[in-house]
Amino acid sequence: MKKTNLSDYDPMAVPEGSPYHIAVVAAEWNSEVTGAMLDGAVSTLREHGVKEENIIVRHVPGTFELTTAADLLLDSNSTLNAVICIGCVIQGETRHFEFICQAVSQGLTNVAVKHSRPVIFSVLTCDTMQQALDRAGGRHGNKGVEGAITALKMCKFKDQCE
């Protein structure tokens, strides 16, 4: 199956969301981008039947904090089926970019494995702001929408393992 842009998805292939409780955490850094991704994620969850009261939205200062937030949410809420983590890191003049990207990708993987629940990596790692905007509702779709679809698919995957 050739699928380069998951934002053009087949709605029939997305699991029904009504059984699930899903948290969406968005970083405040580059909020023009992360806000558009957050909107895309939440509206996609609603479209696929996740109940309003079962969608938890939280904000953290930066992408680096997504790991702690996901861990705390999963620790404190045993009914939570998945956490979608939204961030946007733009390459600057220093090596900060590398440290944040490395820490959050490894961190979110560790949290998912620790809790045996899906933690979705909706983090853009871009060279320019334009690349990020292109992926937050622009010409390359909306990676927040894709994060929501991935979360629903992974919730169903986990159900099938139980």
Task: Provide the annotated active-site residues.
Answer: 96
Among the listed residues 6, 56, 72, 90, the single contact to ligand DLZ using CB under 6 A: 90
Stretch that binds ligand DLZ, among 8-16, 24-32, 144-152, 154-162 (CB under 6 A): 24-32
Q: Taking CB under 6 A as the rule, does residue 95 contact ligand DLZ?
A: no
Chain-centre distance for alpha carbon 46: 15
Identify which range of 25-33, 44-52, 109-117, 141-149 contacts ligand DLZ by CB under 6 A.
Answer: 25-33
Residues 129-148 that bind ligand DLZ (CB under 6 A): none
Q: How many residues in total does the chain contain?
A: 162
Q: Using alpha carbons, select from 87, 79, 107, 62 the residue that is nearest to residue 22.
A: 79
Q: Which residue is nearest to ligand DLZ (CB)?
A: 62
- Amino acid of residue 7: S
Q: Both tokens of residue 15?
A: 């699991």
Q: How far is the CB of 20 from ligand DLZ (least distance, A)?
A: 27
d(CA 47, CA 105): 28
Sign of torsion over alpha carbons 60, 132, 40, 162:
negative
Are the C-beta atoms of residues 30 and 88 closer than 8 Å to each other? yes
Q: Does 61 bind ligand DLZ (CB under 6 A)?
A: yes
Binding site for ligand DLZ (CB under 6 A): 27, 29-30, 61-65, 87-90, 92, 96, 100
